[in-house]
Amino acid sequence: MDFAYLETLPSPRLLATHLPLSLFPKSITSGCGCRVVYICRDPKDAFVSRWCYDNKVHRGRSVDLKTAFNMLSEGFSGYGPFWDHCLEYWRESIAMPDRALFLKYEEMLSDPVKYVMKIAAFIGVPFCTKEEEDGVPEEMVRLCNFEMLSSLYVNKTGEFFRHGNMVIENSAYFRKGKVGDWGGS
C-alpha cells in the first residue's frame, strides 16, 4: 500500500490505526514530534465488538464466537496478542509520557468532557479560557457522541471500503457504544 498521500495532508495530521506500536517506524516515538493516543477497552467488550464487526464485514463468513474466542486466547489476532498490544502502549506512556497517552475507554465515557480537554492539551491544542467558558468542550462531546455520529446519514448509508466480496459499510463501525455490553451480545 502506498502511503505517500499522507505527506500531502496538512499538518498537524490526525491518523487512526489498530496497529501495534512495534510496527510503527522508529521515528514515530523517537522525537519527530508525533504524539500517540492509545485507547484501551475492557477485553471482553473489545472482543465481542470486534467479533460483531467481523460478522458485518465478512457477511456470515466469519468464525463462530467460540472459535474466535479460542483464537484470541491463543494470541491469534490481526493486531497481535491482545495483552501484548495493550502493554506496549502502556509501557510507552510510562517511558515517554510527553509522547504517548494511554486512556481507558470506560473512564473516558464516565467523564467525556474531562478527557476531551486532556487529549486536546496532550496533542498541543488546549482549549483557551474563552472556549471553556463558551462550552466548546461540551459541544464537542455532544457532536461526537455515539448517538449523534451513528445517526448521521453518511454513517447509515455510506461505504468506507469495497474490495471484491468484502464491503465495509460505515454503519459497521457502530454497534452499541456501551460499556459492559459483552454479556448481552
Q: Which residues are catalytic?
A: 18
**With contact defined as beta carbons under 8 Å apart, do 47 and 181 qualify?**
no
- Written as nine digits, the cell of 89 is 502502549
Burial of 158 (0-12, 13-18, 19+ CB in 10 A): exposed
DSSP track, 9-32: SPSSP-------GGGS-GGGTTTS
Rounded to whole angstroms, what are the CA distances from 49 to 38, 89, 99?
17, 21, 28
